[in-house]
Amino acid sequence: MSSLKVTFGILATGLMLSGCMQATTYEATNTQNFKPRDKDLLSKVSYVKTPVAEPFRRAIVEYHRKESPGSIVVDSDNHYLYWVMDGGKAIRYGITVGEEAMAWSGIAKIGSMTEWPAWHPTPSEISRLGVPTFVAPGPDNPMGSRAMYLYSGGKDTLFRIHGTNQPEYIGASISSGCIRMTNEDAIDLYNRVKVGTIVVVLEPKHGDSPYNSRLALQGGSNSSF
């Protein structure tokens, strides 16, 4: 029942957001950048490829913050990840983020990167979720197609940006703290970044995306963009 509530909530947010958004350049997935293994494994997924609500689809947007081109900014409040470009632009991806008690914020770097990673649940995840200690790479692995591991102070934070086998939750706050993207978006971002890329995860209540979920649900708009 709770999963249905989350799904309906995402759809409702998407419909209301679409009414207050400016014209946006959405980016279709370019499968030419997929490797043969990507195409093979993505063709074998058993999860339902639920379409992402329009406001959370990958798009090129105007970007006013001052982070350097090539860096990543995560706005957990509004379920967006930005890859900063030159010329006041960014590629904006919709994401699933952690529940408030499990969220992480701060400045990190991508410390390592893996294609089609295995999943090694943390002890707390094993205890809380009843999952195995290891899940092999594959089309239905919860880590999805790519993983970018966040390090801070030279140490693994245990938080990752990664794909997902639950695309229906893009735009929701349900993960164990990691930042989930659709498998297609994870591949796209992975191809743009490198080890050492700066990742800024904004603190709660510090998100300033132009299309603010909460304001949209209240019938307002965010004019700071």
Task: Decide if 183 contacts 145 (C-beta within 8 A).
Answer: yes
CB atoms within 10 A of CB 61: 20
Angle at 44 between CA 43 and CA 46, to 5 degrees: 120
The question of whether 206 is a catalytic residue gets the answer no
Q: What are phi and psi of 122, to 5 degrees?
A: -75, 160
The question of whether 178 is a catalytic residue gets the answer yes
Which amino acid, one-letter code, is at 108? A
The active-site residue out of 64, 79, 120, 178 is: 178
Helices (H), the chain: 2-18, 36-42, 123-129, 183-190, 213-217
Task: Decide if 148 contacts 113 (C-beta within 8 A).
Answer: yes
The active-site residue out of 20, 79, 120, 162 is: 162
Residues recognised as catalytic: 162, 178
